[in-house]
Structure 1
Amino acid sequence: MRALVLNRAFVRQLIWSHTKLTTTDLVPEVSLRLITPECPLWKATPEQCPFNDPFWAFFWPGGQVLSRYILGNPHLFYKKSVLDVGSGCGGSSLACKLAGASYVVANDIDQVAEVALEINMEANSLHINTDISNRLSSHLKEPFDFVLLGDMFYDPEFTETVIYWIQQQTNNSSVLIGDPGRHALLNHPIKTKLHQVAEYALPKTCQLENNGLSLGKVWLLDRINMT
């Protein structure tokens, strides 16, 4: 797929052919092209899929609850700058723009995700900035009011990478985490530094797609008690 990424027009056509424009019950304000149960790729094997690890083709529950919080509290994001790390389909980034954020950067190292996000921007008549650099291995040079992490704690080793980065590089930002109860976050010491700001019941369809996880929470990193 790497060679195909260079041909953005072809990648756009692939995305259009294998996804469906849809909304979710939790975030009906945002339209996204996703792989849904109606799509043949929903039950395809990795070998049958034309994309490498299409995480961007799903609106993960952590991203959904984070987006719901943003849209339910637009005053917090109005005229603010936001960095959405691991943005995937861009649902949370688009939610920030709908809430009135002045500057939004959707960051995902997958070039196909960038193309998918461009399509999703068009579907919502919104524009946000995209970035495919590996933010987790670099210094945060520009200041952001908010840093978003939606469903980024699905793997213990990667969780350590993410948490080290936010502890070292986001001191001047409010860090918001959307998570449906992934074990890597539940069992991590950073949990004692998180303040819950919202909780949402996940829709039945979302539960079925995510191994029965039924609740999603939004956490704010507590800078006062950071050591």
Structure 2
Amino acid sequence: MNSRSAAGQLSTISFIMFRTTLFPRTMLVAVSSTRGRMLCTTAKGSKLRHQIQQHTEVSRDHLTPEIALHLITPSCELWKCKDQAQVPFSDPYWAFYWPGGQAVARYLLDNPKTVCGFHVLDVGSGSGACAIAAAKAGAQSVTANDIDPVAGEAILLNCSLNQVNVNVSLNDMIGKTCFEWDIILLGDVLYDTEFAQRLQPWIKSLQNAGKTIFVGDPGRHAMNVIPEGNLQLLATYSLPPQTNLENRGFSTAFVWKIL
């Protein structure tokens, strides 16, 4: 769940450093049921959705052009913003399409039998892209999970944009059994070694319970928390130039299955 070039004023390196400082990647994963915590009240939710639409643009400039997403792009004011006080969101990580999520979504769209007919949980869903891909691939049910209510509203907007039905949960699922789901998607969740170490026992318990777990990541150091023998590499994708720019120069993303 990590970074972003302000065309013109900032160099690529200085912008990426600024993006990471202004919008640090935080611990945003969750879920316990398809209902979960309530999303915002109608009035507040409507205001959030309006803000999201106002400060993002609909983009297909990524690995999964079949999926349209509300994203912060170089043409958006927030892309060039240097003052946190001018940002209406505490951390709009959900407005960026992280490389591991792109890889997982691409893999599901290219291999629909992977999820077709199964119950799928997308943990740390962010924009909801992986959940949307699972729905498009024919999953029996899909739950997009994130603990940030703003992300929940962004997911609803993106699902509507792509005309798919996805449940949204805001509950923290780390350590839970996830008995409702057959398949767990983890796109960019292992972004930090300390957090990955916290997740590893939970991931192992899910695997022992017979869950199928897919991990997407561009190869961050935190992936070393999972023993190499427990990972089956399923796919390797070259990332689009814009995604490279947004993610500290990562040019490739991978999809693994937990063994």
**Common fold by TM > 0.5:** yes
Match of 1:86 among 118, 124, 143: 124
Matched residue SS, 2:174: helix
**1:11-62 superposed Cα distances (whole Å, 9 cap, x missing partner):** 1111011000111331011000011111111122333211111111111000
SS at match of 2:120: strand
Match of 2:23 in 1: none
* Equivalences, count: 218
Residue 157 (structure 2) pairs with residue 116 (structure 1): no
1:225 alignment partner in structure 2: none
Q: Which has the higher contact order (CA 8 A, sep 6+)?
A: 2
**Distance in 2 separating the partners of 1:5 and 1:52:** 20
CA distance in 1, matches of 2:211, 2:176: 16
2:164 maps to what in 1? 126
**Equivalence map 1:17-32=2 (5 Å):** 17-32=54-69
Which stretch shifts more, 17-26 or 167-176?
A: 167-176
Q: Distance in 1 between matches of 2:205 and 2:228?
A: 16
Q: Can you give the 5+ residue segments of structure 1 that lack an aligned partner in the other structure?
A: 223-227
Supply the distance in 2 between the matched residues of 1:78 and 1:198 (Cα, whole angstroms).
18
After superposition, the C-alpha distances for 1:106-135 in whole angstroms (9 at most, x for unaligned) are 010000000011110111111100100001
The one of 205, 210, 216 aligned to 1:168? 205
What is the alpha-carbon root mean square deviation over aligned residues?
1.7
Following superposition, the deviation at residue 4 of structure 1 comes to 9.7
Identify unmatched segments of 5+ residues in structure 2. Answer: 1-39
1:5·1:11 contact (CA, 8 Å) conserved in 2?
no
- Counterpart for residue 11 of structure 2: none
SS of 2:121's equivalent in the other structure is strand
AA aligned to 2:218 is: P
TM-score, length-scaled by structure 2: 0.80
- Give a deviation string over 1:80-104, Cα, whole Å, max 9, x none: 1100000000000000011011110
Name the structure 1 match of 2:177: 139
Distance 1:115 1:128 in 2: 12
TM-score, L = length of structure 1: 0.91
Contact 1:198 1:217 in 2 (8 A): yes
Correspondence 1:203 to 2:240: yes
Distance 2:140 2:239 in 1: 29
Q: Contact 2:200–2:226 (CA<8 Å) still a contact in 1?
A: no
> What is residue 14 of structure 1 aligned with on the other side?
51
2:86 maps to 1:48: yes
